[in-house]
Homo-oligomer: A and B are copies of this chain.
């Protein structure tokens, strides 16, 4: 297929690479061109704008930063919807708002385009190994037409419903994760305060009823004071805000989610936005008087992380 791919960052770069490897004809656009060079050297064509990338394609895929970026990429002056010969199907794989996904789908339909929302989980590792979970929302026929593309990029591909339902599913994932992250932070703060050896504690509890991927993945990093991202705190803050906004729209009260959003808001305002999500554990430990955690955070802030 002829595919335009917008957003060749840490996630999109790997995902677009799998499409190239599968034999598709790729055109790429990225705000910073240097991040697309690896794909260009493998045969992808460069385009100067989303609109120019979109011209004459079968399918267009985007994975960019924030909902505002998604809006600009599609509806902006140089946006995809301004193309004179637009793709038949557009797929936004950014984690964005269900509401925007529905807005895009309506705007696309008015132009004879099918629009799909398909956010992912699995992070850079999942993107590189094509083992992402892809949560798909959109019209059934359109989804069927691009299914093989999803299978080139992910392992768990599930069609969750109409426009916006991919994004809603990703929000469910992020809410569940919020519980894991705050549970990890509070339990490790308790362990430290009680004078336990956290590594031994993790050995006792990781395979039991309280076990989680967050504990397995982040527990050892927290113990080493390694707060480099996996998944950026700033991106998680965005997702938590989306989930809370959508919940409010649905008259849904999620007190744990609001609590966790408050912590990440503070984390980002304290200059720790470039840290991994698990920096929450250090912030909570420092709040409780842990000198080790306080030193780690000072280092991270002064490094501009």
Contact = CB atoms under 8 A, between A and B. Distances in A.
Contact of A243 (B135, B179, B190, B208): B190
A282 B200 CA distance: 34
A182 B182 CA distance: 10
A71 interface: no
Contact of A161 (B180, B195, B246): B195
Contacts of A217: 209
Contacts of A123: 209
Contact of A208 (B173, B186, B289): B173
A204 B252 contact: no
A175 interface: yes
Chain A contact surface mostly:
helix
Number of copies: 2
Contact of A212 (B180, B201, B203, B253): B180
Interface in A156-188: 156, 158, 160-161, 165, 168-169, 171-184, 186-188
Interface stretch (A14-22, A42-50, A255-263): A255-263
Given A168-B194, A179-B179, A254-B186, A173 B205 contact: yes
Contact of A213 (B133, B189, B196, B208): B208
A260 to B, nearest CB: 8
Interface of A: 98, 121-123, 126, 133, 135, 156, 158, 160-161, 165, 168-169, 171-184, 186-191, 193-197, 200-201, 203-205, 207-215, 217, 231, 243, 246-247, 250-257, 259-260, 287-289
